[in-house]
Amino acid sequence: MLLAELAYWLVVNGWSDVPNDRAAQKLEQVAKTIHGIRADGSTLLRHLLERTGLLRQAVPGRVSFVHKTFQEYLAGWAAVKGDHIGQLLSHAADDQWREVIIMACGHGSQRQNDELLQGILSRGGEPGHQESLGLLALGCLHTALQLDPDLRQVVMSLEAEYVPPNTEEMVQTLASLGDLALAALAECADKNDLTDWQAELSVRAAALTRSDAAFDVIVRLVRRFPVAQSTALQCWSYYEPSKYLREVLALTGPYPELILDDRALVPYLLDLPGLSLLGFDCDGLAAPADFATIPELVQLRLRRPGSIDVVTRCPKLSHLTLDDVPGQFTLPERPSSLRTLTIHRCSSHVKFHLLSDWEGLTELRVIHCADPASLNDLWKIPSLEKVALEATEIHDLALLAELPNLHELRLDGFARIDLSLFIGRRSLTVIVSEDTKVRGAHLLGGGSRVIRGDACSPST
């Protein structure tokens, strides 16, 4: 009761924390109404901080609940215990009170819940609050154990107004209804007039119920609206990985592309149907060895990789992107199938050791690289046919002029370039920004040209 009254007092005042002396004063005031408690407020506060695990002092000298959910749950209990139904109704349109009101219904008697739900419904016509009040009523339906049956049916009928969902708030409220919402969401799979956005939100709402009963709903929605496939994939981490893979993803694939930052899902990628493009945040660690088991992996994008030795064991890998590469970075042996390398956002001190050993590479893109001097070994890869430097200026194009097979050079973001180094070079396409100043274009050989956006200047 002490914690509940403290929680409700904080909510009423719109506070998330309070000075220790104010909290102690409130606790002492509440304790006087409880038989058998004789401790002073400071003693009570110290006891609650040390023994309950529900309070904390994140800021020295101020006390708060460790999680807002605990505060809302206890405040809801205190509200119905004190029969503050009018107070709850007066804040029905206040987002800060939404969860407190929903929690209150879980503690309330039938009389209190009937009064609260009827009051919320009666306010449903208020301009600007129709949607939030309707969603609040549906949220209360989920927690209200005691409610007039006819009133329950009235509230349930509101589902039709909020299914399919159009906002994230609708998604969260529908998800809170659990299995009650799944039947309505399942009906969406039989409709043809859902927008792409509604289909994606419907899948997300079903998945957020965290119920296995959602699997069939998700499968039906994705099959009817393939645009929601990526949303279904994003919800993988909400469930036990192998079960969701078996019950949902295996039935709605193929899934050719996946951006992932959860290592817990990596062991299951082998069985993800059709995966050919994978993006992964290594967070400074080595790229997982499991990537080598993905049979159709063609493109791999690694962010902040510690090492990329696994790429040598990916038999079909043809495109590799390295993003935000840290420090001294040693490249392994080039996979025989690899043809394209993209280097994105390198630090100013990164050095690509053994880059010169990647003979056989045909395309290289360098984007936002702070120190292009780390690429001085480019000329040692004569197999390069295409080179793109975007927001990565180098001061000496002579390195690129040494590439015998180069036929496309993209220089994006350069203030000026001198093509006289490529004198007589035949069949070379140079792509530059609209405002780049170009010298020596006339010295290029036959079949060469300079392109600015849609305009091109052929060399004769």
Give the pLDDT confidence of 130-185 residue by residue, as tens digits. 777 887 888 888 789 999 999 999 988 887 778 889 888 889 888 877 776 787 78
Q: What is the mean pLDDT of residues 33-56?
A: 89
Ramachandran assignment for 360, one of left (phi > 0), alpha (psi -120 to 50 degrees), beta (any other) = left
User: What's residue 129's pLDDT?
Assistant: 76
Per DSSP, what are the bridge partners of residue 230?
Answer: none
Specify the residue for token string 């392109």.
451
Out of 33-42, 88-97, 257-266, 325-334, pick the least confident: 325-334
pLDDT at 353 over 80: no
pLDDT for res 378: 63
pLDDT of residue 455: 43
Sign of CA dihedral 446, 452, 456, 457: negative
pLDDT at residue 372 tops 80:
no
Same fold, 2-73 and 255-406: no
Average per-residue pLDDT in the chain? 88
Amino acid identity of residue 77, one-letter, is W
pLDDT of residue 376: 67
What is the tens place of the pLDDT at every residue in 203-255?
999 999 999 999 999 999 999 999 999 999 999 999 999 999 999 999 999 99
* pLDDT value of residue 297: 95
Structure token digits, residue 371: 């120190």
**How do residues 279-319 score in pLDDT, each as one tens digit?**
999 988 899 999 999 999 999 999 989 889 999 999 999 99
More confident position, 80 or 306: 80
What residue ranges do the domains of the chain occupy?
Answer: 2-73, 185-253, 255-406, 407-460
The domain 2-73 is placed in CATH, from the list 1.10.3470, 1.10.10, 1.10.3210, 3.40.1350, at 1.10.10
Alpha carbon distance 52, 54 (integer Å): 5
Q: Which candidate, 209, 295, 302, 310, places its Cα nearest to that of 254?
A: 295
Q: pLDDT at residue 102 above 70?
A: yes
Average pLDDT for residues 390-412, to the nearest whole number?
A: 84
> Is the CB of residue 80 less than 8 Å from the CB of residue 107?
yes
More confident residue, 411 or 349: 411
Supply the pLDDT for residue 459: 44
* pLDDT score of 458 more than 50: no
Mean pLDDT of 407-435: 91
Half-sphere exposure of 414 (CA within 13 A, CB side): 24
5 — phi, psi (to 5°)? -65, -35
pTM for this prediction: 0.68
Residue 406 Cα distances to 20, 36, 101, 421, 436, angstroms? 71, 88, 68, 13, 21
Average pLDDT over residues 78-86: 96
pLDDT of residue 456: 42
Give the model's pLDDT for residue 124: 72
The set of residues, in sequence order, having a beta carbon less than 8 Å from that of 11 and lying 6+ positions away, is 71, 72, 75, 96, 97, 100
Residue 46, pLDDT > 70, answer yes
Output the pLDDT for position 186. Answer: 84
**Whole-number percent of the chain with pLDDT over 70:** 93
| H or E segment and range at residue 281 | strand 277-281
For residue 111, is pLDDT > 90?
yes
Using DSSP bridges, classify how beta strands 340-344 and 257-260 pair: parallel, antiparallel or unpaired.
Answer: unpaired
User: Cβ contacts of residue 293 below 8 Å, gap of 6+?
Assistant: 269, 270
How high is the pLDDT of residue 348? 54
What CATH superfamily classification does 255-406 receive? Ribonuclease Inhibitor (3.80.10.10)
Work out the average pLDDT over 264-293.
Answer: 92
pLDDT at 395 over 80: no
C-alpha–C-alpha distance, residues 373 and 352, integer Å: 10
Kindly indicate the confidence band of residue 349, based on its pLDDT and cuts at 50, 70 and 90: low
